[in-house]
């Protein structure tokens, strides 16, 4: 697996697309991320990340319907491809296995209570 392919922001955007399916497009993703993180996220940044992800083949897209708010412009909706799903899974399993290897004693030292989350 080529971990270097996926930046942190890209990973979050990719997850957001999966979570928001089937209504994932720049605005909904940006708003969602703002809600989750409490930080301002600009549409341009999200769009650029989406573009990159699509180029790498993790996402596919199609044009959706136009609304009046958008000035009559259509939106581009994104869905995660099978390859994208595999990548997400890989990332997750790496994380999980690492989490699992942390000893309870170490966990307590870090100030994390292992017994319940």
Is position 37 an interface residue for other proteins (rule: CB under 8 A)? no
**Residue from 16, 25, 53, 88 that binds other proteins (CB under 8 A)?**
25
Q: CB of 17 within 8 A of CB of 49? A: no
Is position 42 an interface residue for other proteins (rule: CB under 8 A)? yes
Residue number, 57 or 85, with CB nearest to other proteins: 57
Tracing tokens 């399993």 back to the chain, one arrives at 93
Phi-psi region of 57 (alpha: psi -120 to 50; beta: other; left: phi over 0): left
- The CA distance from 70 to 109, in Å, is 51
- Least distance between other proteins and beta carbon 25 (Å): 7
DSSP state of 4: G
- Least distance between other proteins and beta carbon 72 (Å): 8
- The CA distance from 89 to 68, in Å, is 38
Q: Tell me the site size for other proteins, rule CB under 8 A.
A: 25
Residues that bind other proteins in the complex, under the rule CB under 8 A: 25-27, 30-31, 40, 42-45, 47-48, 51-52, 63, 66-71, 73-76
């Amino acid at each position: 697996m080529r971990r270097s392919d996926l930046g942190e922001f890209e990973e979050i955007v990719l997850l957001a697309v999966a979570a928001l399916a089937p209504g994932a497009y720049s605005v909904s993703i940006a708003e969602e991320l703002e809600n989750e993180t409490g930080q301002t996220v600009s549409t341009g940044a999200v769009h650029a990340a989406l573009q990159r992800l699509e180029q790498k083949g993790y996402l596919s897209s199609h044009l959706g319907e136009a609304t009046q708010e958008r000035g009559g412009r259509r939106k581009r909706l994104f869905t995660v491809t099978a390859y994208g799903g595999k990548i997400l899974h890989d990332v997750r399993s790496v994380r999980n296995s690492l989490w699992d290897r942390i000893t309870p004693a170490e966990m307590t030292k870090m100030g994390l209570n292992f017994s319940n989350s």
